[in-house]
Structure 1
């Protein structure tokens, strides 16, 4: 009996061992088969992520390769391309060389007249009487006679569209009393705008020898302006007078009913010309200004501006060989900008700056007052550029900040800097930091309690430091 019991236990142990072994083998097989698809899938995903990355993802993480300026083979004496809001320079060829600008001079006349109208000192419907100087002015003109009367708007359009020298002089004399008095206004404005090479001898851009003798400047100094100065002037036009295209984009204008033909805009690149047989080869998408120029000494010049996908660019080419060439070269310059660059917002208006969410204001109900950016900030960067490397440097002026303070009070600045592949310069711009809400002064009782608390806090810290 005892022997049978031992045999039974031994047999049962062997059966349990066999069952466990079989179960272990089955479990191992199940695990292997279940892991195999996962391994294959993982390898497949890895292969796809490294070799078949979607084009959209690749585009988002790779910067556009910027062609060299030399590759454009520009046939110009000088050229420049800027983004007018930031003032960023995207292309530069001899842009600081002072050259005769011809009728691009009229951009300053346009700016001043439009600004005076905007200020309410004159009205577009004001009627002026043509004086002797304007009537004797030669070159491109609408043949004004002394004593003719026209509105400021009529003459302004004749100047902006047809580059009419006589209309320009008539406007200058009406605004300032004489053309030379107006020229002083032009030169003063140039200094205010930061134009470093510009000097104006007249309102039109004519050579002094082509002006009526009795109205020539005494110093004999000719009008000059660099491509950069022309771009700066254009920047002021498009930013201070965003309605500029209401004049500059007019393709043709009937000045007088009796005129046998309308004035045709010298700017052949206007987008409005895309269906005009003679000009459609030059028409450029988004282009709505600004000013052509030509004299024997200046050759053919053009300041153009166009807007695409929310980005406006200003281009200047000076000293090209023909009226057609100035537009051909301008197309190269603008294409360079629109094909290779895009605007990127770095900070939105009224946005919180990380790490500087508040500023301390003494005697305020809430001493920690929230601060935000005073305006938006954008950089124009190569397409696809990674802007996560933008650096911010905050400079707070907490000393002297005492309640009460109004919302919008400047309490410091934040400077952003960025260096992208394809750009020679480090982009840098500063915006103000302002209070996001009013900082009201605390009541006397709260200030008393706060002072008591600070007293005991200082006392405790003093005692603690003794040990």
Structure 2
């Protein structure tokens, strides 16, 4: 009886113990399974992010210098040593392209204008070290033929032939190049020839007034600004630079830009969607350079990489830049037309029927931004000092829509690269929302009397205070 009682109690104990252990095991399994599930979800969220998004803030570019620019607004999205002047090699030809297209646009020449090859470009063409297209003397070449060979195959001899056609000699053409660079506002530049070859390679043919061992110089910022003008001023530039191949002298020549949709299998890996330009470059001094431009969903980006170590690398680094721009930035209207800064919209007016006038921005401000940075932008008013009297008031009459200053876009975030044009922020016109008529002479007289007594009272109060101070 006692044994059975003990046996039953033991069974109850072990049953309870087993249930407890089972419950604990079940709890631990649930706990670890939950932790495992959370870990898997975190890993999946990381894996499913675009690779460019993960590395966005740490663009480890294998280039001496680089820049990324929005092709519409000129806003700089990324920069690395972008103000450092370096040899651009054949990216120099972008300036030659611009001057040729400008001459066509001005009616000085046409695409069908013909020219023949002088001894200088012929000697460059015949030199195997320059790996150009073989030219023939005493033969007419059209501007289109020469331009396509220059823009697509980066041919040096055809570039020089175009320079001679436009300016009479490469010496005079180089003067035009530097003048245009100044006109464009390129911050760092020096042009010594039209092709991008080192002057040492040209020997006695180097343009007069340039150093025997001279080289063209551009910063990445200057190259991007030059490209910005080229693609925005002349649509033809992209129509030609986007061609994967052209016919010349009975031969088919391939575009040196591997990021275009080439047919060759080994180049397909470099194809970049939306790519349509712009210019490669390579010399021993410059290394491998590339100014690229691509357009996706209506958004155009311009990139420059300078002094990379190989043909492949210049395109790989360009892909990093463009991916960063397309994946991390979106065009947003930060402030719409008519926006007013809270508490600062009313400007005092002197000699008017109204004491103040409301002001607002004339047009909306849209720029490419990272979504998380949108709140870091604000507007700062800059009233035209010439429109203010000694008391800091606008003087009536004031017309509706009259410009009374500018509104400056200010970024309070960590990194602001500014714009390709200058280091200043974007500005729009600040205008009066309503008209303010000038008050009649009677009201002005009453106002003057009121001001007189107000000033007199203030002076008296200050005098009394002075007695007890």
- TM beyond 0.5: yes
Structure 1 residue 318 and structure 2 residue 306: aligned? yes
User: Corresponding residue for 1:124?
Assistant: 111
* 1:343-392 residue CA offsets vs partner (Å, 9 max, x unmatched): 323335x544446778899999999888664555334322x225234221
Kindly report which structure 2 residues correspond to 1:168-247, keeping only aligned pairs within 5 A, or say none. Answer: 168-211=159-202, 213-218=204-209, 219-220=211-212, 221-247=214-240
Q: 1:457 to 1:409 in 2, by over 3 A?
A: closer
The whole-number CA distance in structure 1 between the counterparts of 2:397 and 2:454 is 35
Partner of residue 346, structure 1: 334
Q: Does 1:385 align with 2:378?
A: no
Matched residues, number: 388
**Equivalent residues in 2 for 1:18-417, closer than 5 Å:** 67-69=56-58, 72-138=59-125, 139-211=130-202, 213-218=204-209, 219-220=211-212, 221-256=214-249, 259=250, 261-270=251-260, 272-273=261-262, 276-348=264-336, 351-354=338-341, 373=361, 376-382=364-370, 384-397=371-384, 398-399=387-388, 410-417=403-410
Q: Give yes or no for contact 2:404–2:432 (8 Å, CA) kept in 1.
A: no
* Equivalent position of 1:5 in the other structure: none
| TM-score, with structure 2 as normaliser | 0.71
Secondary structure of the corresponding residue to residue 318 of structure 1 = strand
Greater gyration radius? 1
Which deviates more, 91-100 or 406-415? 406-415
Instruction: State the alpha-carbon separation in 2 of the partners of residues 165 and 321 from structure 1.
Output: 22
Query: Which secondary structure state, in structure 2, belongs to the residue aligned with residue 281 of structure 1?
Result: helix
Q: Shift in Å at residue 414 of structure 1?
A: 0.8
Do the aligned residues in 2 keep the contact of 1:82 with 1:314 (CA within 8 Å)?
yes
Distance 1:114 1:347, change over 3 A: farther
Secondary structure in 2 aligned to 1:343?
strand
1:450 maps to which of 434, 440, 451: 440
Structure 2 SS opposite 1:229: helix
Counterpart CA distance in 2 for 1:76 and 1:465 is 67
Specify the SS of the correspondent of 2:189: coil
> Could you tell me which residue of structure 2 aligns to residue 459 of structure 1?
449
TM-score (norm 1): 0.71
CA contact (8 A) 2:399 2:432 kept: no
Structure 1 contact 381–420 (Cα < 8 Å) conserved: no
Q: Deviations over 1:43-96 (max 9, x none)?
A: xxxxxxxxxxxxxxxxxxxxx776343xx4433333222224444333333333
Q: Distance in 2 between matches of 1:300 and 1:429?
A: 32
Asked whether the 8 Å contact 1:365–1:439 carries over to 2, the reply is no
Q: 1:143 to 1:451 in 2, by over 3 A?
A: farther
Q: Is the 8 A contact 2:403 2:432 kept in 1?
A: no
Deviation at 1:290, TM superposition (A): 0.5
Cα separation, 2, equivalents of 1:142 and 1:363: 74
Q: SS at 1:279's partner residue?
A: helix
Which blocks of at least 5 consecutive residues in structure 2 are unaligned? 1-52, 458-469
Shift of 1:212: 5.6
Alpha-carbon distance between aligned partners in 1 of 2:207 and 2:289, rounded to the nearest angstrom: 24
CA gap of 1:237–1:409, structure 2 versus 1, over 3 A, is farther
Query: Post-superposition shift, 1:105?
Result: 0.8
Question: What is the Cα deviation at residue 340 of structure 1?
Answer: 2.1
Tell me the secondary structure at the aligned position of residue 218 of structure 2. coil
For residue 297 of structure 1, give the secondary structure of its aligned residue in structure 2. coil
Q: Distance in 2 between matches of 1:426 and 1:159?
A: 33
